[in-house]
Structure 1
Amino acid sequence: MLNRMEKKTGIDLTPHMLRRYFANIRRKDGWRLELIQQALGHKHLNTTIRYLNIMDDELIEASQEFYAKHSALYGVKELL
């Protein structure tokens, strides 16, 4: 099937490319990383993070969002 697709479109698709596409679409749809990890069968979450090519900027943004939402819970202002 993938060979026929390549002949018709000129795009060389592999099962691995489709697997990455599946994972990235799930992430964009709001799936938690742990759910994507389970869907892909990865043993470690770090493997899933590398697999998704999550950029440092995205990780920093997620960290800042978490801090903004939860800093009061952990008493951060009292520590600073």
Structure 2
Amino acid sequence: MNVGSVYSMLKRMENKTKLKITPHMLRRYFANMRKEAGWRLEMISQALGHKHLDTTVRYLNLIDDDLIEASNEFYERRSSIYRVQELL
């Protein structure tokens, strides 16, 4: 499918349903559904093609509790790699 076909299809849907849908809205929906399905932030970031996790964080509009949880998960998975216990 090319870009023009996607926009054309979404415009036809809008005319029928009176709901405006954009490719960007569908992309955000995809990302949020992956988050709710339990995907790790890194996996969502990779699926979206983001270079940096902070882009994905802003994209998902994560709230503070979600950020703390994601940070803790990242720390738990990576602490041995970075030898954090030796630094403490």
TM-score (norm: length of structure 2): 0.67
How many aligned residue pairs are there? 68
**For 1:39-72, what per-residue CA distance to the aligned partner results, in whole angstroms no more than 9, with x for missing partners?**
0000000000000011124334x27xx4xxx7xx
Q: Any gaps of 5 or more consecutive residues in structure 2?
A: 1-8, 77-83
**Cα-to-partner distance string for 1:8-51 (whole Å, 9 max, x where unaligned):** 11111100000000000000000000000000000000000000
- Structure 1 residue aligned with 2:53: 45
Report the aligned-residue RMSD: 2.3
SS in 2 for 1:12: coil
The answer for unaligned runs of 5 or more in structure 1 is 76-80
Taking structure 1 as the reference length, what is the TM-score of the superposition? 0.73
Give the % identical residues. Answer: 65
